[in-house]
Structure 1
Amino acid sequence: MKKVIIYTVDGCPHCQDVKELLKEKKVKFTEKNISKNPKLAEEMIKKSGQRGAPITIINGKIIVGFNRKKLVETLK
C-alpha cells in the first residue's frame, strides 16, 4: 500500500482536484491543511522546497500542484 500525504490550503481548487482524484482511485491519504497551522507549512516547505499547495507525497515522491498524469503514474 502506498503512503500518500497531501498538503492543502483552504479554498484551493487544485487541492480539491487532487483529493477528488485520490478518492476516485480509491487511494487512502492523509490531508495536512496548512492554512491555520504554521508548523505544517514549515514541514511542507522543508520536505518539498515549495511554498504553494497542493503538494502530494506518494511513497516519498513529491508532486507539485495538480498534475493528473504524474499523479496517476506515481500511484501505479
Structure 2
Amino acid sequence: MPDITVYTVPGCADCEAVKQLMNSKGAAFTEKNVREDAAALAEMQVRAGVRIAPVTVIGGQVFSGYFNDQRPGILAALAGNP
C-alpha cells in the first residue's frame, strides 16, 4: 500500500467523507490539518497546487476538490490502478 496523506480542515464535510472512505477500505493514512499547521498548508500547496482542503495524496497521485470528484480516483488508486 502506498503512503497516503489526507490534508484536512476542521468542520469540513468533504474532508470527513474522504477519511470515512479510507477507513472503510482499511487504508492507513496520515491526516494533516492545514488550518493549524502552516507547514502542512505549504506542503499541500506545493503537492496539489491548491489552497482548499481536502487534498488526498496516494503515492504519487494527487486528488483535490469535492469528495464526489475525488472518490473515483481514490478508489482506483487504492485498488492499485493508476
Give the TM interval when normalised to the shorter protein: over 0.9
1:2 match: secondary structure: coil
- The 1-side partners of 2:14 and 2:21 are apart by 11
- Return 5+ residue gaps in structure 1 as ranges: none
* RMSD after superposition: 0.8
- Aligned-pair identity in percent equals 38
AA aligned to 2:29 is: F
Relative contact order (C-alpha < 8 Å, sep 6+): which is higher?
A: 1
Q: Deviations over 1:9-47 (max 9, x none)?
A: 011000000000000000000000111111111111011
List structure 1 segments (4+ residues) > 2 angstroms apart after TM superposition. Answer: none
Residue in 1 that maps onto 2:6: 6
Pairwise CA distance, 1:49: 0.5
The equivalent of 1:47 in structure 2 is 47
Q: Which residue of 2 aligns with 1:75?
A: 78
Specify every segment of 5 or more residues in structure 2 that has no aligned partner in the other structure, as ranges.
none
